Structures are given as structure tokens and as C-alpha cells.
Amino acid sequence: MDNQKKVAVIIVAGGSGKRMNSPVPKQFLMLNQKPVLAHAIQPFNESPRVHQMILVVPEKDVTYCQVDIVETYQFHKVTNVVAGGSERIDSVKKGLEAIEETVDYIAIHDGARPLIHQEDIERVFDKALETGGAILASQMTDTVKKIEEKGEIVGTLPRSELVLAQTPQIFCAEWLKNAYRCFPPGKVATDDASVLECAGYSVHTVCGKHINIKITTSEDLEIAAYTLNRRSGENENRHRF
Ligand SMILES: Nc1ccn([C@@H]2O[C@H](COP(=O)(O)OP(=O)(O)OP(=O)(O)O)[C@@H](O)[C@H]2O)c(=O)n1
Ligand SMILES: C[C@](O)(CO)[C@H](O)COP(=O)(O)O
């Protein structure tokens, strides 16, 4: 990757986590002694390629995040903690408003994805710098069924043509800002690549690890805790031998 290019990262953590059904938004739940959100920020804060980070959080949690996340964990690359909007795309728009004008590339990562690997960040950044836009995506390994509302199968989808979109998603700053500017009000987009697709930009995929899960339910939190325990065990063993 061209290290001359300035990369900014928007961490979107402005959701309420309805599907988790917990009084505390899922991004603030503790996962192996650290909030989910802190796990998600850390590898970007440590990447020498990242110039600036913007943290987007629920309006009522801005001060908590500034003090208990940014200052406590010394995330020195986070320049702004801003209030999010009602949908994910509204939160990304708020993040875009806080980014320095001189930034060349902008990555967006879910604050609810705490298991992202440093090497996957580097691989998707490389692809975006080569092509203009790239996202991490994982292969599907189960057969995919289309169902009707009562759960009855109405068809089987061609799995070889499908992948699961993850984050980070990274784009040339001009493309991303333009695509968000042109995105029709009221139209639904659940990720950033869809916003670029709608504006006609071509976006590439980079094969990501299944384990880069988005914490959505308590089952995901259990998987994440188990994975982090294993990773810290592996690190201890590496230091021992
Ligand atoms: N208005 C919103 C909605 C979502 N997000 C963020 O986008 C990421 C992916 O969204 P999702 O997993 O759907 O989070 P929630 O909207 O919080 O979850 P739910 O749909 O269960 O309410 C999360 O890091 C979430 O905090 C956001 O910044 N602003
Ligand atoms: C951005 C995303 O995580 C990519 O998989 C996903 O689309 C977010 O969707 P959600 O419905 O907001 O969880």
C-alpha cells in the first residue's frame, strides 16, 4: 500500500443493539475485560497507515466514549467522538462530516466487530488503494435457501455467486463522499458498498475470515469471548517457548 496516502477510519458504534436485547448497547458490553468497541478500535489505532479516526456513538454516550473508551485505552488517533443518526448510513454521514479535507481514503468499520485481524485490515486497504474501493467478505459454506414468511422453502440460491459482506470497507474519499451525497433520501442501504454500487462505482471484495463476526446476539458474544481467550493463550505460549 502507498504509505503516502492519508487514510481515515470511521468506527460506527451509534446503534442501540435491539437484537441483543440488553439494557447496555452491545458495543459497550465487556468482552474479556474490555468493551467490545475498544477491541474493534485497537487494531486500527495501531496501524501505521491510519492517520485519523472518527468514533460515531449514540448521542447520550458521547462523553462516556470520550472518557471511558478514547482516554482510558489511549486511542490517540481518535480525533472526534460524534453523535450518530437513526440508521447506520446516517451515522456514517455524521462521521464523514468530521473527516479532514486532505484525507485520500476512508475506511468504515463496525464498532460491533471486535475480532478483526490486523492482517485483514492491511489486505483490504491494499486492494482499495489499487482499485478505488474494497470490502472484506467471507465465502458461504452452507447451502442457501430462499424462504417465504412462514419458513417454507421456495428456492435454493446459487452459493458460488454469493459472499457475506463484512467490514472494514474502504474507498477513495472522493467516491465515498460523492456516493453518500447522491444517495436517494429514504432508500435503504445496510452497508457502505451498497451506497457506492448505487452511484455506479465498482467495489472489489477481499476474502475475509469467518471469525470477523458482527456481535448481534448473546451467542456471538460467547463465540467472541472464546476466540479472544484462545488468542491470548496462543500469545502466552509464544512468549513461553
Ligand atoms: N443508527 C446506527 C445503527 C447502527 N450503527 C452501527 O452499525 C454497526 C452495525 O449495525 P448493527 O449490528 O445492526 O447494530 P445495531 O443497529 O445496534 O443492532 P440492531 O440492529 O440489533 O439494533 C454497529 O456497530 C452499530 O453500532 C450506527 O452506528 N448507527
Ligand atoms: C455493515 C454490515 O456489517 C456488513 O455486513 C451489515 O450490513 C450491517 O447490517 P445491520 O443490519 O446494520 O446489522
Give pLDDT tens digits along the chain (241 positions): 566 899 999 999 999 999 999 999 999 999 999 999 999 999 999 999 999 999 999 999 999 999 999 999 999 999 999 999 999 999 999 999 999 999 999 999 999 999 999 999 999 999 999 999 999 999 999 999 999 999 999 999 999 999 999 999 999 999 999 999 999 999 999 999 999 999 999 999 999 999 999 999 999 999 999 999 998 877 766 665 5
150 Cα to the center of ligand 2, angstroms: 24
Whether 190 is in the pocket of ligand 1, judged by its Cβ within 6 Å, is no
Whether 88 is in the pocket of ligand 2, judged by its Cβ within 6 Å, is yes
Residue positions counted in the chain: 241
Ligand 2 atom with the smallest distance to the CA of 110 is: 3
Whether 16 is in the pocket of ligand 2, judged by its Cβ within 6 Å, is no
Whether 108 and 132 have beta carbons less than 8 Å apart is answered as no
Which position has the grid cell 458504534?
A: 13
Atom 8 (ligand 1): residue with closest C-alpha?
110
Containing 43, the helix (H) or strand (E) segment is: helix 36-46
Nearest-5° Cα angle at 53, 79 to 38:
100
- Provide CB contacts within 8 A for 37, sequence distance 6+: 11, 13, 27, 28, 65, 69, 111, 112, 114
Nearest to 31 by CA among 20, 19, 47, 15: 20
Domains and CATH numbers, the chain: 7-240 (3.90.550.10)
Please report, for residues 73, 139, 180, the alpha-carbon distance to residue 125 in angstroms, rounded to integers and kept in the order given. 24, 19, 20
